Structure 1
Amino acid sequence: MSWQPNPPPAGFYPGQQGYGQPQPPYPKQEGYPPQPGSYPPTGASAPPPPQQGYPYPNYPSPPPPYEGSNPAFAPPAPGFASPQSGMYGTAYGDEPLTQNSGETGPFEFSEKTIRHGFIRKVYSILMLQLLISLSFIALFTFHNGTKNYVRGHPEMVWIAFVIVLVTLIAMSCCTNVRRKAPMNFIFLFVFTLAESLILGVISSTYNQDAVLMAVGLCAAVCFGLTLFAFQTKWDFTVMGGVLFVAVIILFLFGIVAAILPGNKTLTLVYASLGALVFCVYLVYDTQMMMGGKHKYSISPEEYIFAALSLYLDVINIFLYLLTIIGIARD
């Protein structure tokens, strides 16, 4: 009896080289195949281990099994949603995780929600600053004892001016000062008190009706500009460089106006340009705070810096309007 090789293994397909063709018998090995009645045969060596493609070494290995036949590659069950899309939202995109159930979790905040909370915080701080400044202005304008005391102690104004410069530089240049609580609130409160003292002293040099007119006109202008900044489609956040150059020119113009005192026309032009520049600055800072569709925006962590910027815009508009009204009444 002659030994014949086994048929091709599963995975070979018709038309493949060697399929269905007679193959030459393998060379006989000593003691193999075993004779009946004795196993293993005496002195017989075990057959070699199967090679790749055994018993046809020259043939390629069968293709890997289909993914569906391997439990590790089982297709997802019906109704399964991957973590990157579907009922759990986008896991690695810009949008946060949301749920279809409509329940709101502690971490389900969108950029719009965060920005609205940031705006409310900024305007709350700004309103408190303006109330403090308005109280100082009213005290120095309508209380003659306070007005006379400050006029007899001019060193208070210089001390307040130094405090304003130090706190303003610290909050503008040091990130930790304006971001770390409660240090940021302490610096902002000290700055507001010193600036309010200077505003009160300046207001005490004008007539009471001129101060009231300046306060009312400033409130109306700032309210209108804020509404304009919220509603307009124009993007003022790209004008940062232009406004910075305008402030430098205005500063140099102010030095010239101070060197030539008594020239009311020059002072009136300077105050008008200053009011115009800071009105545009108010719109610019408001849109920077809003973010959204605008090109540039302030980080929600910079609520102290945003409130400080808006406060400086408002008080500068008030001072320039007070100058214009004072010159016009004189």
Structure 2
Amino acid sequence: MTDIESQKPVPENDPSHAETAPMYDPPPYMPPPYPTGPDVYPQPIPVAVSFIPPNLPPEEIDMSKTEEPNPDPAAVFPAEESQVFVSSFEDRTVRKAFIRKVFSVVTIQLLVTFTVVCVFTFSNTVKAAVQRNIWMYLSSYIIFVVVGTCLSVFSKFSRTHPWNLLGLSVVTLSLSYMVGTVASYHNTTAVIIALGSTLVISFSIIIFSAQTRLDFTVCNGILLILSIDLLMFGFFSIFFYSNVLQILYGCLGALLYALFLAVDCQLVMGRQKYSLDPEEYVYGALIIYLDIIMIFLYILMILSGSSKN
């Protein structure tokens, strides 16, 4: 009896039912306590950029300043090919053509001059005619000085074709007449020896200047000093003339112009520090031609001073 009473259900409104009531299973699905959608991050708020005016003086505040356009990147940073600047004289083809042209012109000039010298030396009739007409010598000297100075000083004249070749032809003919007149006063044997010596010396110096690594183009100051000394030596030799002084003066002059020939050949070839412009082929031919002619005249002076006649 007691056991049956103890097994009676407890009413639901019994306050002790909450403590003794059985636990039920949870529902099959429970909503999560956090959102199940994709993560959403806060977007950054853009910061307003404003122009801060510079701290200018009061007199420059009202001045408007235009903004320069952005330069072309190709102009600021040129391509690698455009940064390589090659001089026209560095081109082997241009250099060889320039040297060939200069020495071709010099060869023609020397042929003309030495032909005139031979005619004035071997022909007694021509020799007597040029010695009687000394005014022709003075006229050729004036023409040579005027036209030669124009070719040396005015680069526009020496570069303008065909006036540069015309001026060079006038210089060659006038100087050939002068040299032929001077050679007519000397012995025929001395003239032949001077011609041969000049050709050998000039050819040797040209070959040496083309092969050596010595830079003669930086010796212009030394050559200027030696030229002034030779000029003063020749001036004082007028008052104290003797065969010994004439031979010494001729040796110094031939040596000086041999150095000039070495310098001028390197200027034409362009292998050293200084070089001529490829357009100055007339000027290059003129200076080499003058060097060779002066070597011939000084060798002729040495031979005439050493001869008994």
How does the TM-score come out when normalised to structure 1? 0.69
Q: What corresponds to 1:239 in structure 2?
A: 219
Q: Does 1:229 align with 2:209?
A: yes
Q: Does 1:252 align with 2:232?
A: yes
Q: What corresponds to 2:159 in structure 1?
A: 179
Counterparts of 2:145 and 2:86, CA distance in 1: 42
Q: What corresponds to 1:91 in structure 2?
A: 82
Q: 2:257 aligns with which of 266, 273, 278?
A: 278
For 2:257, give the aligned amino acid: F
Counterparts of 2:46 and 2:287, CA distance in 1: 81
**Change beyond 3 A, Cα 1:202–1:239:** same
Partner SS state of residue 235, structure 1: coil
**Change beyond 3 A, Cα 1:95–1:324:** same
Describe the superposition over 1:58-107 as per-residue Cα deviations: whole angstroms up to 9, x where unpaired: 4699xxxxxxxxxxxxxxxxxxxxx945xxxx3331349xxxxxxxxxxx
Q: Does 1:114 align with 2:114?
A: no
Please tell me whether the aligned partners of residues 89 and 95 of structure 2 are also in contact (alpha carbons under 8 angstroms): no
1:90-169 to structure 2, matched below 5 A, reads: 90-95=81-86, 111-169=91-149
For 2:244, give the aligned amino acid: T
Moved over 6 A (4+): none
Partner SS state of residue 218, structure 2: helix
Describe the superposition over 1:198-243 as per-residue Cα deviations: whole angstroms up to 9, x where unpaired: 1001111111111101000110011111111011111001001111
Displacement of 1:244 in angstroms is 1.4
Q: What corresponds to 1:20 in structure 2?
A: 41
Q: What corresponds to 1:304 in structure 2?
A: 282
Counterparts of 1:258 and 1:319, CA distance in 2: 17
Counterparts of 1:212 and 1:277, CA distance in 2: 22
For 1:119, give the aligned amino acid: I
**Change beyond 3 A, Cα 1:186–1:58:** closer
Counterparts of 2:258 and 2:292, CA distance in 1: 8
Please tell me whether the aligned partners of residues 250 and 301 of structure 2 are also in contact (alpha carbons under 8 angstroms): yes
Please tell me whether the aligned partners of residues 113 and 172 of structure 2 are also in contact (alpha carbons under 8 angstroms): yes
Displacement of 1:320 in angstroms is 0.7
* Max Rg structure: 2
Counterparts of 1:284 and 1:109, CA distance in 2: 18
1:179-198 to structure 2, matched below 5 A, reads: 179-198=159-178
For 2:269, give the aligned amino acid: M
Q: Does 1:266 align with 2:248?
A: no
Cα RMSD over matched residues?
Answer: 2.5
What percentage of aligned pairs have identical amino acids? 34
Displacement of 1:323 in angstroms is 1.0
Partner SS state of residue 168, structure 2: helix
Describe the superposition over 1:261-313 as per-residue Cα deviations: whole angstroms up to 9, x where unpaired: 3x111111111100110111110000011113x11111111111110100010
Q: How many residues align?
A: 244
Unaligned runs of 5+ in 1: 1-6, 9-13, 22-54, 62-82, 97-107
Partner SS state of residue 282, structure 2: helix
Unaligned runs of 5+ in 2: 1-36, 50-77
How does the TM-score come out when normalised to structure 2? 0.74
Q: Does 1:219 align with 2:199?
A: yes
Counterparts of 2:280 and 2:262, CA distance in 1: 18
Counterparts of 1:272 and 1:110, CA distance in 2: 37
**Change beyond 3 A, Cα 1:95–1:165:** closer
Counterparts of 1:109 and 1:312, CA distance in 2: 24
Counterparts of 1:324 and 1:215, CA distance in 2: 13
Partner SS state of residue 295, structure 1: coil
For 1:115, give the aligned amino acid: R
Displacement of 1:57 in angstroms is 3.6
Counterparts of 1:274 and 1:192, CA distance in 2: 21
For 1:190, give the aligned amino acid: V
Q: What corresponds to 1:323 in structure 2?
A: 301
Q: What corresponds to 1:100 in structure 2?
A: none
**Change beyond 3 A, Cα 1:257–1:94:** same
For 2:294, give the aligned amino acid: N
Q: What corresponds to 2:188 in structure 1?
A: 208
Displacement of 1:109 in angstroms is 9.3
Partner SS state of residue 323, structure 1: helix
